[in-house]
């Protein structure tokens, strides 16, 4: 139970690419990107792994899964639930992003 609450706390934070040249467009995106939280922008806290795109157009966004370094009850890493895209330099949940596109 404690580990689920800790992962939920991680999921409620805001994450951004730790590098400046992280393109949100799939065609120009990197396979993996180090990430930081807004609470600790100088410390890499995980990796975003590209897993697909939001469509088939050349301008569609890359979709990522976020895997965080954690130290809670026997875990060293935790993958946040859901998919994420980069919007305005910040990782946003794909479902939330998609709802704003309509």
Confidence label for 21 from pLDDT (cuts 50, 70 and 90): confident
What pLDDT is recorded for position 83? 96
Average pLDDT over residues 57-78: 85
The domain in which residue 17 lies consists of 2-101
Domain count for the chain: 1
Please provide the distance, in angstroms rounded to a whole number, between the alpha carbons at the two ends of the chain: 37
Structure tokens at 82: 């859901």
Average pLDDT over residues 53-74: 88
pTM: 0.84
């Amino acid at each position: 139970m404690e580990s689920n609450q800790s992962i939920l706390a991680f999921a409620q934070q805001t994450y951004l690419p730790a590098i400046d040249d992280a393109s949100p467009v799939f065609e120009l995106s990197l396979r993996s990107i180090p990430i930081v939280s807004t609470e600790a922008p100088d410390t890499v806290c995980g990796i975003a792994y590209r897993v697909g795109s939001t469509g088939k157009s050349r301008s569609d966004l890359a979709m990522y899964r976020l895997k965080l370094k954690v130290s809670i009850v026997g875990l060293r890493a935790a993958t946040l639930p859901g998919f994420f895209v980069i919007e305005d330099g910040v990782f946003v949940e794909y479902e939330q992003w998609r709802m704003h596109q309509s």
